[in-house]
Amino acid sequence: MVTVLAVVAVLVPYLVGTGLVEGLRQEARIAIGADVTTGQEQLPDLYVAANQFGRRVPIPVSLAKTIGEFDGVIRVVPRIVGRITLGKDAVEAVLVGMPQK
């Protein structure tokens, strides 16, 4: 009986941890644009902003064409879904919407 309990006490956290890691791995692949059907991976979206009076502001849409001319850029889709600052250093985190196509 003690052996069974010991095995269960070790296996349950291991299986839960394995499930969590696998879920995080799948979410990370989705975040970088990995295509599940073809296995092709693309780089994530690029976020570009400007500074104005010490605050981050969106860049003019007219610069989208210039950004699209950089090497490796396939398309430019201007959008901002949300923005927050994190931690004591006020690190900016940006939530960017991903197109479905």
Same domain, 35 and 53: no
Q: What's the confidence (pLDDT) of residue 71?
A: 82
Q: What's the confidence (pLDDT) of residue 42?
A: 59
- Domain limits for position 20: 1-42
Q: What is the CA radius of gyration of the chain?
A: 21
Same domain, 5 and 23: yes
Cβ proximity of 34 and 26 under 8 Å: no
Same domain, 58 and 35: no
Can you read off the two tokens belonging to residue 82? 């949300």
Same domain, 53 and 22: no
Same domain, 50 and 8: no
Q: Which residue ranges of the chain lie beneath pLDDT 70?
A: 30-47, 56, 78-85, 92-101
Query: Measured between alpha carbons, how far is residue 23 from residues 32, 45, 71, 87, 95 in Å?
Result: 15, 21, 33, 26, 20
Predicted TM-score of the model (pTM): 0.35
Q: What's the confidence (pLDDT) of residue 41?
A: 58
Say how many domains are in the chain: 2
Q: What's the confidence (pLDDT) of residue 99?
A: 52
Q: What's the confidence (pLDDT) of residue 53?
A: 75
Separation CA 14–CA 25 (nearest Å): 16
Q: What's the confidence (pLDDT) of residue 65?
A: 81
